Chains A and B, each alone.
Chain A
């Protein structure tokens, strides 16, 4: 019913507008088209000026309303470079924006048709044209220069001591693999994937490097420690989007990609900084991946080294889990013999990662 009324009102509004428009055309014909044109010309010229002023106020208002809801300080060292670049670009494009928009609407208002004025025959001026070729070229060279400088810093090789984590996307979830005490990821092959048997990444159990690899459903990072993500996908293209860290990289099936960054604040520090008790770092899928795309969320926890160690101690390698399930009685001998030793293993894992 409501929809019906809305449509009815719209139809009426339209009918009235149309009648007015038709009437104004008749009036124009009666009064002489020349005269009518001059009048609408004045109205539109005035509206152009009004639009400029309203628009400038609108730009300011929009910024006031929304600037608190965006960005915030970057949570990674690399993200700071991206923000710097963003502000350099904003300054340069901002100047151009205001100058050109003001000139455009001002000229349109100022030089509206008038009997007193004759259009000025001005087909070209080489000097002017060279000026406005060269100035943008210089400005853009500066932007390209800064941009590429930061780009290479960000995409260059990670430091030697960077922690390595493998991120795998699939419809519609994220999985994270830590290399364990040996610091090496075991091999995997996609045809081995079998979620029912606890092998959701397709790890090759015969590869001993796999035996200590830990799989987690949340991404744990250590503050101020560079981390390199090795990114892959099981099915379609996904994208690891880390807004607070200003990071993004596609997850492509069959072609691993990497990215690295250094988190600056722990989750707890961010809670204090933002004054938001529920603050959480989120990992969003930024590449269209199917009907659950908008819910493909991962949680990132940045913590101190001690907290991280405590967490990783508590994790059981996937291999151990699988073996326990398969042969509940004789699971452990596959790796280290006793429960105590297992703890030792995780300690060495942590020690390894701290390196």
Chain B
């Protein structure tokens, strides 16, 4: 497919095949406000749309966590202001159990899917794939636009579910039936869960449209000379992310559709032998398996955590190499370990189900496969460390967030070795230990990757810089806060404190962490406030930030920095540059960096 054809989609102005020298028609058609900013087909604009929608969701999801942390930290106190805003959900200024469970459910759903999947992959895949592969746009800009708008519709439905009278879904973000299937057993399982399922179905459609586009763009639309092994690691990571999503999201969708059937059409896929005490009725359903849902859910659910973390890994690899002024160490090993993680990601889902009564032999297989993932993860960590070793490191906000990512990935990854071992998982399953583990390794670490990406590519997105001082404050408060919140939480888990308990006062053995929970709540409020500061910095800098005056502000090798400072639709004004080398020739032969577009010199050394 010709890059030009796909930009305009109008046969009369397609001039040639793969030669892009008619620069005049790149900018000549007038764009209205609507085609430029709303129904835009420009991958850069779509990326920004994903990012800004993701930011909006992150505020919502983060605010929810602050609300339920108030309950956890100060279970005896009342906050009249909550009643003002939430009425009967916070009667007397105290968060009611149904409200608490709705909050944690939406916090999980919003952050896992709407922020760290759509907001992260959506942003950087859209922004970077065409720019770093050397394409004028995605393989199908139209599908790409649909991908965003499906995400938008999913968002609208999900937001609307917050306002229904029986409350939003509240069965936990995993939405396990029968709890999620029975409105009589749980307030949130009434209309709220139907809306949740519909929103998620739309989300899956969005994710598939995006993913297919990313894969075909990377495979088909690289510029001349850009062999797969010359791609920056960001693109490799986004490529594997898209593959994971395309192969696993449909399974999730099937699980959701069966759940919708069970809820509304009287089928018994997940329901069997149920007597609901609230209504005093035995349900007619027999022969279903509640565990079947868990298999379908985690078949996506586990790859999902890699869908979240792989883009961050790619971003961090790129940012660390650029700012260490050194090539990424072990490029092929990095690609290989991404590949290994992708394959293994499909083979470990049942480690979420060690205590569901799973056959112990099957469990042992999943232990083996789960702990195998630690090998490629270890390779990546050692390679990042070696990339820093003997570099000449510029500590920009993006670099700091990347270093923070590696630190968090180590901490959270190592606790995964505990949980992946079924023997230990018996004790730690569904305790605060797992909450601490996945927040560090998947939540905060991925956010760090995302922040690194935003700070690093903000100049490309908006032609301005983010404020550095605010960036540094953002980093230092966030990393300190993240460790203060989640490190001691492991101890609560070791003591057996179950997750999703909003009040421990009724328990003799769990009720001695009051001080700790207060501390965690206070820190989380501070961290949340600092994220708001970052968001302010983001929007302020779009309009008022320091202007970028240099085409290649970081001295990077990759192609996006060969475009104009504010590239139009089509990215390059002239021909798409040809690529002659890999993306990581930093510090080679005494030169600080050698862009990918520079031909191999005669006397150049081989590595």
Contact = CB atoms under 8 A, between A and B. Distances in A.
B327 A288 contact: no
A122 B328 CA distance: 8
B430 A70 contact: no
Interface in A62-102: 62, 66-67, 69-71, 79, 81-82, 85-86, 89-90, 92-93, 96-97, 100-101
Interface string A13-30: 010011011101100110
Nearest to A120: B390
Nearest to B82: A3
Contacts of A93: 414-415, 417-418
Contact of B97 (A20, A114, A258, A294): A294
Interface string A112-123: 111001111111
Interface in B271-287: 271-278, 280, 282, 286-287
A159 interface: no
Contact of A69 (B407, B513, B546): B513
Given A156-B360, A255-B357, A3 B81 contact: yes
Nearest to B105: A288
Contacts of B368: 144, 148
B539 to A, nearest CB: 12
A156 B363 CA distance: 12
Contacts of B81: 3
B488 A96 contact: no
A122 B329 contact: yes
A333 interface: no
B543 interface: no
B430 A287 contact: yes
- For chain A, what secondary structure do more than half of its interface residues adopt (helix, strand, loop), or is it mixed? helix
A148 B424 contact: no
A241 B496 contact: yes
Interface in B305-331: 324-331
B470 A254 contact: no
Interface stretch (A128-136, A209-217, A307-315, A347-355): A128-136
B277 A234 contact: yes
A229 B383 CA distance: 48
A12 interface: no
B395 A41 contact: yes
Contact of A121 (B177, B410, B426, B587): B587
A62 B491 contact: yes
Nearest to B181: A236
Given A97-B410, A289-B179, A85 B423 contact: yes
- In order of increasing CB-CB distance, the 5 nearest A-B pairs are A254-B272, A243-B496, A257-B357, A119-B587, A155-B360
Interface of B: 79, 81, 97-98, 101, 170-172, 176-179, 182, 185-187, 271-278, 280, 282, 286-291, 324-333, 355-357, 360, 363-364, 367-368, 371-372, 374-375, 378-379, 381-386, 388-395, 400, 403, 406-407, 410-411, 414-415, 417-418, 421-424, 426-427, 429-431, 467-470, 472-473, 476, 479-480, 483, 487-488, 491, 494-496, 498, 500-504, 506-510, 512-513, 516, 529, 533, 536-537, 546, 584, 586-590, 592, 607
Interface of A: 3, 10, 14, 17-18, 20-22, 24-25, 28-29, 37, 40-41, 44-45, 47-48, 51, 55, 58-59, 62, 66-67, 69-71, 79, 81-82, 85-86, 89-90, 92-93, 96-97, 100-101, 103-105, 107-108, 111-114, 117-125, 128-129, 132-133, 136-137, 140, 143-144, 146-148, 150-152, 154-156, 170-171, 190-191, 193, 195-196, 202, 231, 234-237, 239, 241, 243-244, 246-250, 252-258, 278-280, 282, 284-295, 297
